[in-house]
Amino acid sequence: MSVRRRLAEHARFLVSDLGFATSSLNPLRSFHLQLEEEVETYERLKRGDVGELLNLHGLGHTLVALRIALGLTQRELAQRLGVHESQVSRDERNEYHGITVERASRVLDAMGVRLRSLFEQPILPDAVDQKSSKSALP
């Protein structure tokens, strides 16, 4: 039975059998929908569907997603990195906020992941000169 169907049945039970007001179920529905989305995301990651890293702001989330997709526990990653499990847990909870390039490379290496980059629409020196001359004050 799907999560949505179970949620609908549970809501009907709360309203009809226990006398809850429909409006009081809104926070519960919201929580269930959020939980369902998180479970679906986790299952997608376990299937190896990590998605693309479109910019470096998503690097921390991608590192967590890669670990899950590879089937590594936080403990296993910590052992590979030579740090305590609590450090990996803290880093992931904060989505590796402020991680350095060197440290990100160590995490990727520990997971056996090779990073490949593609730069689209590179800024050419002529384009930079034209932009700066247009914005310069007389």
- Model pLDDT for residues 105-132, shown as the tens digit of each residue: 999 999 999 988 877 776 667 655 555 5
Is residue 138 over pLDDT 60?
Answer: no
pLDDT band with cut points at 50, 70 and 90 for residue 35: confident
CA dist 65 → 27, 54, 132 (Å): 28, 14, 39
Please report which confidence band the pLDDT of residue 85 belongs to, taking 50, 70 and 90 as the band edges: very high
CA-closest candidate to residue 112, choices 69, 60, 52: 69
∠ CA 56-58-28, nearest 5°, is 165
Q: What is the pTM of this model?
A: 0.61
* Res 87 pLDDT > 80: yes
